Amino acid sequence: MGTSKTGWNLENSYTQLPEVFYSRQNPNPVPAPKLVLFNNALAASLGLHAEELQSEEGVQVLAGNLVPDGAAPLAQAYAGHQFGHFTRLGDGRAVLIGEQITPTGERFDIQLKGPGRTPYSRGGDGRAALGPMLREYIISEAMHGLGIPTTRSLAVAATGETVYRENPLPGAILTRVASSHLRVGTFQYAAQWGSADDLRALADYAIQRHYPEAADAENRYLALLQAVIDRQAALIAKWMLVGFIHGVMNTDNMTISGETIDYGPCAFMDTYKLATVFSSIDVQGRYAYGNQPYIGGWNLARFAETLIPLLHENEEQALQMAQDAIAQYTDIYRTHWLAGMRAKLGLFNAEAEDKDLIDILLGLMEQHQADYTNTFRALTFDKLEATELFGIAEFAEWLKLWNGRQDRQPESREASQQLMRDSNPAVIPRNHRVEAALEYAGQGDFSVLERLLSVLATPYAHSPEQEEYAAAPGASAVPYRTFCGT
Ligand code: AMP
Ligand code: MG
């Protein structure tokens, strides 16, 4: 299909990597493609023509029945630590169509998720069900709205095929857009099963694609490691600041670019509680909300290990360099997190006691089961009677500390409130809202989902329409559970 009509402008730099890193793989055809969600704004920014892409022919591409001109479809090989256990993996239910070069010259992977079996499918069918693909669309786009680096969702097409999980479900394909799909697990794969040259080629590719400035460093591979540590520390801090729980922080689900990837069992926390776990398979709480920063460090240590042959010809020195870089992670993470928390509290400058100020508030929130997002909203708009903490003596004490702290900075109260408005979302994709949207969509009514998406697109607008979406769910006897959606 012609590039002029739809705007496809594809390159395939991944195919220049050694062959161990991928297998050529066309998407497998589906019987009855039907577009159910389409992201007009994202299409436009990619230089794609929304109308053409939504035409019958365009939808054939989004469903994997037609390969656009310039595409070289492939499935990527990777490995990963899944809940701590090392395994050989790969795109078992995804095919990379190509890399779209946007009108401004940026490069984005266009990947179909759910296009049928690949050489890495193992026992799986390579297919995806409609519900989980819609869920990924909602949450990834909500993350983008929140200003958190993430893979994006261009479209969901129903396939007309039934996929069999515990129950028969309607099948679907999601078009995922990412600045790349390089993972910590891709490096683990190279270190375990590739040659020294393969590993070096991968690292050079990652530098060229994501950290070109590292190429000029004295030790480019150390610069790569440090850059990924910083990006991931910043990312995980952002998750923590909005109450996002990824749910399956395996090393194959951690990108080199620093984008959030793999929206399986993720969910947002309502009530502030460090031990919150939603994923049904995370029985040990390995990926609980409060554990995420530690797991980030653990995963980055696995990344650092893969780079040892590249860091220095002397293995002992290489090991030392890797360890030194990893040792920085906790401080880097804390710095990002503290900066974000200060902004949430309207603080422009730094004082040594800020960490204590924040910890007292979070401690009170945990103790009194306060809603995380709405506590910060109430502080922003001085509507304290709306919070679970209202009337509690320790909270009144804390407010005095916070007020005193604000008085000690030169910026006005107005400026401080503006900073809080820009740092505390009115809406997050709350589980009960997401579930309701999916339920209606399952019955063919997408209006609830579309409205939710529009509210989530501008979470810092604090508009009147957002008010009803800001409400926390009522008490439930059954805790919220998420599933991997494979
Ligand atoms: P995930 O839990 O989505 O990170 O997936 C872990 C691994 O399982 C990846 O290698 C996926 O490609 C693979 N996988 C997940 N679902 C399927 C499926 N339905 N068919 C084949 N492979 C799958
Ligand atoms: Mg994954």
Atom of ligand 1 nearest to the CA of 89: 10
For residue 414, tell me if it sits in a domain. no
Q: In whole angstroms, give the CA distance from residue 10 to residue 53.
A: 15
The secondary element (H helix, E strand) that includes residue 161 is strand 152-164
- Ligand closest to Cα of 113 equals 1
Establish whether residue 125 lines the binding site of ligand 1, counting it when its CB lies within 6 angstroms of any ligand atom.
yes
Confidence at residue 307, expressed as pLDDT on a 0 to 100 scale: 98
- Among the candidates 295, 315, 337, a domain finishes at 337
Q: In whole angstroms, give the CA distance from residue 419 to residue 342.
A: 10
- Ligand closest to Cα of 255 equals 2
- Ligand closest to Cα of 486 equals 1
Atom of ligand 1 nearest to the CA of 250: 4
Distances in Å between the Cα of 403 and the Cα atoms of 341, 384, 413 are 16, 14, 10
Task: Name the residue of 28, 87, 88, 93 to mutate for ligand 1: max ligand atoms within 8 A of Cβ.
Answer: 93
Q: In whole angstroms, give the CA distance from residue 395 to residue 392.
A: 5
- Among the candidates 337, 358, 382, a domain finishes at 337
Task: Name the residue of 121, 122, 151 to mutate for ligand 1: max ligand atoms within 8 A of Cβ.
Answer: 121
Are residues 231 and 257 located together in one domain of the fold?
Answer: yes
pLDDT in tens, 289-316: 999 999 999 999 999 999 999 999 999 9
| Statement: the pTM of the whole predicted model exceeds 0.75 | yes
Atom of ligand 1 nearest to the CA of 163: 19
For residue 330, tell me if it sits in a domain. yes
Confidence at residue 2, expressed as pLDDT on a 0 to 100 scale: 47
Of the residues 91, 125, 230, 252, only one is catalytic, namely 252
Are residues 290 and 144 located together in one domain of the fold?
Answer: no
Which of the pair, 349 or 482, is modelled with greater confidence?
Answer: 349
Establish whether residue 164 lines the binding site of ligand 1, counting it when its CB lies within 6 angstroms of any ligand atom.
no
Q: Could you tell me if residue 181 is left (phi over 0), alpha (psi between -120 and 50 degrees) or otherwise beta?
A: alpha
Q: Whose CA is nearest to atom 23 of ligand 1?
A: 92
Establish whether residue 262 lines the binding site of ligand 1, counting it when its CB lies within 6 angstroms of any ligand atom.
yes
pLDDT in tens, 40-95: 999 999 999 999 999 999 999 999 999 999 999 999 999 999 999 999 999 999 99
Atom of ligand 1 nearest to the CA of 118: 21
Task: Name, in order, each residue with C-beta under 8 angstroms of 170's C-beta and a sequence gap of 6 or more.
Answer: 129, 130, 158, 159, 161, 162, 163
Q: Whose CA is nearest to atom 13 of ligand 1?
A: 92
Are residues 98 and 223 located together in one domain of the fold?
Answer: no
Distance (Å) from CA 141 to ligand 1 centroid: 21
Are residues 163 and 213 located together in one domain of the fold?
Answer: no
Are residues 137 and 238 located together in one domain of the fold?
Answer: no
Q: Which two tokens mark 24?
A: 């050529």
For residue 327, tell me if it sits in a domain. yes
For residue 127, tell me if it sits in a domain. yes
Q: Can you give the residue range of the structural domain that contains 265?
A: 184-337
Q: In whole angstroms, give the CA distance from residue 297 to residue 118.
A: 32
Are residues 189 and 156 located together in one domain of the fold?
Answer: no
Establish whether residue 90 lines the binding site of ligand 1, counting it when its CB lies within 6 angstroms of any ligand atom.
yes
Establish whether residue 91 lines the binding site of ligand 1, counting it when its CB lies within 6 angstroms of any ligand atom.
yes
Distance (Å) from CA 337 to ligand 1 centroid: 31
Are residues 134 and 212 located together in one domain of the fold?
Answer: no
Indicate if the pLDDT at residue 454 is higher than 80: yes
Confidence band for 485, pLDDT divided at 50, 70 and 90: low
Establish whether residue 80 lines the binding site of ligand 1, counting it when its CB lies within 6 angstroms of any ligand atom.
no
Confidence band for 5, pLDDT divided at 50, 70 and 90: confident
Which residues pair with residue 79 across a beta bridge?
88
Domains in the chain: how many in total? 2
Are residues 27 and 130 located together in one domain of the fold?
Answer: yes
Distances in Å between the Cα of 434 and the Cα atoms of 131, 137, 259, 445, 484 are 11, 11, 22, 14, 16
Are residues 188 and 77 located together in one domain of the fold?
Answer: no
Q: Whose CA is nearest to atom 16 of ligand 1?
A: 486
pLDDT in tens, 143-201: 999 999 999 999 999 999 999 999 999 999 999 999 999 999 999 999 999 999 999 99
Establish whether residue 332 lines the binding site of ligand 1, counting it when its CB lies within 6 angstroms of any ligand atom.
no
pLDDT in tens, 135-151: 999 999 999 999 999 99
Amino acid at 242: V
Establish whether residue 127 lines the binding site of ligand 1, counting it when its CB lies within 6 angstroms of any ligand atom.
yes
Distance (Å) from CA 42 to ligand 1 centroid: 26
Atom of ligand 1 nearest to the CA of 484: 2
For residue 410, tell me if it sits in a domain. no
- Among the candidates 288, 320, 337, a domain finishes at 337
Are residues 164 and 191 located together in one domain of the fold?
Answer: no
For residue 387, tell me if it sits in a domain. no
Are residues 102 and 238 located together in one domain of the fold?
Answer: no
Amino acid at 346: G
Q: In whole angstroms, give the CA distance from residue 401 to residue 357.
A: 8
Indicate if the pLDDT at residue 474 is higher than 90: no
For residue 333, tell me if it sits in a domain. yes
For residue 159, tell me if it sits in a domain. yes
Distance (Å) from CA 481 to ligand 2 centroid: 19
Is 198 an annotated catalytic residue? Answer: no
Confidence at residue 452, expressed as pLDDT on a 0 to 100 scale: 98
Distance (Å) from CA 315 to ligand 1 centroid: 35
Distance (Å) from CA 242 to ligand 1 centroid: 27
Task: Report the percentage of the chain scoring pLDDT > 70.
Answer: 98
Mean pLDDT of the chain: 97
Establish whether residue 87 lines the binding site of ligand 1, counting it when its CB lies within 6 angstroms of any ligand atom.
no
Between strands 267-268 and 244-245, the pairing is antiparallel
Establish whether residue 338 lines the binding site of ligand 1, counting it when its CB lies within 6 angstroms of any ligand atom.
no
Indicate if the pLDDT at residue 353 is higher than 60: yes
Are residues 36 and 155 located together in one domain of the fold?
Answer: yes
Atom of ligand 1 nearest to the CA of 125: 20
